[in-house]
Amino acid sequence: MIEEQLEEIYMILEDDIDKAIAHLKGEFNNIRAGRANPHILDKILVDYYGTPTPIGHMANISVQEGRILVISPWDQSQVRAICKEISASDIGLTPADDGRVIRLTFPQLTEERRRELVKSTKKLAEDAKVACRNARRDAIDELKKLKNNGLSEDQEKGEEDNVQKKLDAAIANIDKLMDEKEKDIMTV
């Protein structure tokens, strides 16, 4: 019985940590580093015949020359709607269309802007670490409840050490992701 409860605690802990890291990766994909990245359009939804649809589901998105995203809608009547939604979004790019395709040009980042982006990525990484620490706290609280149900003090201490090891691995993973993103942003 206690083993099943321990297993459930670890499953919840790992799930929470995985969610925090997946969210961080998603946020990192949305940060542009001076190069065209199709993932920047993932959160933009266009009204496609009454249904909010991601741009990637209604158009071909390709990268030209490293700094230009070319969006080729399969339905040419949607060019204006896509341009309107991109303009209304917070990605900071102005679409240019010729009636058939839409082009998004990513400007070169200044040194100051690169430093601001690194600062915001560090904040995102810290938020992910806080989420992981909260998951650890919840797991340890559950272990303390198990202590009242027959878990020995030594077992509890050992399980807390295991929870801490999982947290340490997650924090190391977050730091690695942060270092990679910082290097990506600062590379001219």
> What digits encode the pLDDT tens for the residues 125-134?
999 999 999 9
Confidence at residue 18, expressed as pLDDT on a 0 to 100 scale: 95
Let me know whether 120 and 68 are in one domain.
no
* Confidence band for 167, pLDDT divided at 50, 70 and 90: very high
pLDDT over 70 (residue 33) = no
Q: Which of 105, 125, 150 is the last residue of a domain?
A: 105
| DSSP symbols for 143-172 | HHHHHHTT--HHHHHHHHHHHHHHHHHHHH
Range of the domain at 68: 38-105
> Sheet holding 59-64: strands in order across?
59-64, 68-73, 102-105, 96-97
- Provide the 3-class DSSP secondary structure of residue 37: coil
Q: Which of 84, 105, 126 is the last residue of a domain?
A: 105
* CA–CA distance, 178 with 130 (Å, rounded to integer): 15
The whole-number average pLDDT for the span 4-8 is 88
Indicate the range of 5-9, 15-19, 102-106, 149-153 predicted with least confidence: 149-153
Let me know whether 91 and 142 are in one domain.
no
- Provide the 3-class DSSP secondary structure of residue 46: strand
Overall domain count for the chain? 2
What pTM does this model have? 0.71
Let me know whether 120 and 161 are in one domain.
yes
CATH number at residue 59: 3.30.1360.40
In tens, the pLDDT along 35-86 reads: 777 888 888 889 888 889 998 898 998 888 878 889 999 988 888 899 998 8
pLDDT over 70 (residue 188) = no
Q: Which of 53, 83, 105 is the last residue of a domain?
A: 105
Let me know whether 182 and 116 are in one domain.
yes
Strands 68-73 and 59-64: antiparallel
CATH number at residue 9: 1.10.132.20
CA-to-CA dists, residue 147 to 9, 11, 155, angstroms: 13, 19, 9
Q: What are phi and psi of 93, to 5 degrees?
A: -125, 145
Let me know whether 42 and 93 are in one domain.
yes
In tens, the pLDDT along 77-93 reads: 888 899 998 888 877 77
Return the sign of the alpha-carbon dihedral for residues 127, 132, 134, 137.
Answer: negative
Nearest alpha-carbon partner for 174 in 119, 141, 126: 126
Confidence at residue 130, expressed as pLDDT on a 0 to 100 scale: 95
* Confidence band for 172, pLDDT divided at 50, 70 and 90: very high
Return the sign of the alpha-carbon dihedral for residues 72, 77, 81, 84.
Answer: positive
Confidence at residue 139, expressed as pLDDT on a 0 to 100 scale: 92
| DSSP symbols for 58-109 | TEEEEEETTTEEEEEESSGGGHHHHHHHHHHSSS----EE-SS-EEEEPPPP
